[in-house]
Amino acid sequence: MSENADLLALLAEMKKSMEKGQEEMKDRMEKGQEEMKDRMEKGQEEMKDRMEKGQEEMKDRIEKGQEEMKDRIEKGQEEMKKGQEEMRKGPEEMEKATRRNEEKNKKK
């Protein structure tokens, strides 16, 4: 009987050891899963920040481009107005020059 008792004690000890090992493995897995979850969340947050930064940079570039286009359009419109004014003055100036020439010719 003593052999059976020894075997039973050994089996009980082995069972406790296995249960302890299983518990440790379970704890390690849970800890690993938590670490993985934290890393994933951190990675997602970093990606979100990069995306927002990229969008902000694009927005700034677009606004700058629009401002440059607006300035160019305004400058072009000013040049067109000047050109139109010169064209209007052109016939008047030609008439004046023609009259001067005619007056010079009469004096000769």
Q: Domain spans of the chain?
A: 1-107
pLDDT digits (tens, 9 = 90+) for 25-49: 999 999 999 999 999 999 999 999 9
Rounded Cα distance between 100 and 97, Å, is: 5
Q: Which pLDDT value is given to residue 52?
A: 98
Q: Which pLDDT value is given to residue 65?
A: 97
Find the angle CA(94)-CA(83)-CA(96) to the nearest 5 degrees. Answer: 15
Greatest Cα pair distance in the chain: 157
pLDDT digits (tens, 9 = 90+) for 76-107: 999 999 888 877 877 777 777 788 888 878 77
**What's this model's pTM, rounded to 2 decimal places?**
0.50
DSSP category for residue 35: H
Dihedral sign for Cα atoms in the order 56, 60, 65, 70: positive
SS (H, E, C) 84-101: HHHHHHHHHHHHHHHHHH
